[in-house]
């Protein structure tokens, strides 16, 4: 509680420290407008951005992304048609075949970056945003914020999609390739995650957290 008050006082001063170059920035008076973007004048880092309805938008995006992620793991991502014989693989199946070939660290890395970490990121966001929308403080909010920050750079759905495309092109000379349902799911997931990273604004979440019931 002590720290909370201290931080509120720095907020009253309207000063922000740039997280990338440590410059002290005076927040403009128009900062209470409903939608704005504030950049650091020295290194042009994003200091603060506020959108209208950011909680509602992020909730909708998180739900949609979760559906796509689950479907993307349930269906085969690519298939091959070799002389009538059909071979398909899912993401987990592809990682499993790497595991069997003895490249266990790489298998774990692939599974982490394409499935587990996006799932963790989406689950964490849901856990944080849903109670805040209802005006309550989600338990473990502080730790989850760190989880979110650590997981974010390692979720690489968009790179995976490009990898699938390249693999399809490589195999096109060998056999008929059929992009599976999961490929479309991951494509959509990529777009949703990109939008989500714009909509979710950490400082807004903290502000809602302070206003919410403990």
Q: Which of 119, 138, 144, 131 is nearest to 62 (CA)?
A: 119
Q: Which of 194, 183, 187, 5 is nearest to 88 (CA)?
A: 183
Question: In this chain, which stretch among 29-37, 75-83, 126-134, 191-199 interacts with another protein, using CB under 8 A?
Answer: 75-83
State which of residues 126, 206, 207, 212 lies at the interface with another protein (CB under 8 A).
206
Q: Is 164 in the site for another protein (CB under 8 A)?
A: yes
Give the separation between CA 31 and CA 25, rounded to whole angstroms: 13
Q: How far is the CB of 125 from another protein (least distance, A)?
A: 15
Give the separation between CA 119 and CA 66, rounded to whole angstroms: 7
State which of residues 167, 181, 191, 212 lies at the interface with another protein (CB under 8 A).
167
Choice between 136 and 170, CB closer to another protein: 170
Q: Is 21 in the site for another protein (CB under 8 A)?
A: yes
What CA dihedral angle connects 113, 117, 122 and 123, to 10 degrees? Answer: 150
Distance, CA of 151 to chain centre: 8
Site string for another protein, 23-52 (x = CB under 8 A): x------------------xxx--------
State which of residues 13, 14, 28, 93 lies at the interface with another protein (CB under 8 A).
93
Q: Is 194 in the site for another protein (CB under 8 A)?
A: no
What CA dihedral angle connects 107, 188, 150 and 62, to 10 degrees? Answer: -130
Which H or E run includes 16? strand 15-17
* Residue 15 dihedral angles phi and psi, to the nearest 5°: -105, 140
Q: Is 103 in the site for another protein (CB under 8 A)?
A: yes
Choice between 31 and 46, CB closer to another protein: 46
DSSP classification of residue 84: T
- Chain residues that interact with another protein, rule: CB under 8 A: 3-4, 6-7, 20-23, 42-44, 77-80, 82, 85, 87, 89, 93-98, 101, 103, 105-107, 109-110, 113-114, 142-143, 145-146, 149, 153-154, 156, 159-160, 162-167, 169-171, 173-174, 206
């Amino acid at each position: 509680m002590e720290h909370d008050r201290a931080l509120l006082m720095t907020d009253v001063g309207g000063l922000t420290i740039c997280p990338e170059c440590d410059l002290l920035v005076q927040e403009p008076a128009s900062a209470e407008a409903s939608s704005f973007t504030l950049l650091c004048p020295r290194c042009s880092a994003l200091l603060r951005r506020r959108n209208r309805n950011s909680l509602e938008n992020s909730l909708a995006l998180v739900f949609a992304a979760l559906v796509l992620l689950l479907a993307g793991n349930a269906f085969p991502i690519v298939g091959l048609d070799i002389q009538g014989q059909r071979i398909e693989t899912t993401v987990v199946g592809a990682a499993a075949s790497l595991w069997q070939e003895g490249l266990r660290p790489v298998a774990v890395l692939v599974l982490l970056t394409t499935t587990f970490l996006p799932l963790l990121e989406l689950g964490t966001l849901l856990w944080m945003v849903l109670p805040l929308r209802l005006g309550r403080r989600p338990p473990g909010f502080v730790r989850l914020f760190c989880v979110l920050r650590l997981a974010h750079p390692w979720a690489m759905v968009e790179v995976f999609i490009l990898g699938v495309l390249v693999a399809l092109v490589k195999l096109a000379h060998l056999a008929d390739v059929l992009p599976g349902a999961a490929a479309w799911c991951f494509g959509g997931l990529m777009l949703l995650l990109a939008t989500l990273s714009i909509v979710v604004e950490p400082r807004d979440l903290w502000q809602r957290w302070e206003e919410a019931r403990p």
